[in-house]
Copies of this chain bind each other. A is one copy, B any other.
Amino acid sequence: MSRVVVDVMPKQAILDPQGQAVHGALGRLGFAGISEVRLGKRFELEVDGELTEERLAEVRCAAETLLANTVIEDFTVRVEAAG
């Protein structure tokens, strides 16, 4: 079993109101010196069996079609040691 992590973040050109809200809240709570916060999603997929290049390509395809909205979001796929 392998763990594949898909990180989905709003594109740089896209406004991120959630991140801005967190940024504002950090400031009000006294955490200064942070110039920007962006908020995205982290998917952890437990993939059965051996993680071949083919399986990884499938996960990438799933990420592109289901997990991320590629019009407004960027995604990265990476393999992580299973926890």
Copies of this chain, complex-wide, total: 2
The answer for the CA separation of A25 and B19 in the assembled complex, in Å, is: 27
Q: Which residues of A contact B (CB under 8 A)?
A: 1, 7-9, 19, 22, 25-26, 29, 31, 33-49, 55, 58-59, 61-62, 65-67
A29 surroundings in chain B (CB, below 8 A): 62, 65-66
Check A47 against B34 for contact (C-beta < 8 Å): yes
The answer for the CA separation of A49 and B34 in the assembled complex, in Å, is: 9
The answer for the CA separation of A67 and B23 in the assembled complex, in Å, is: 11
Check B66 against A46 for contact (C-beta < 8 Å): no
Nearest 5 CB-CB pairs, A to B?
A36-B46, A42-B42, A38-B44, A40-B42, A31-B62
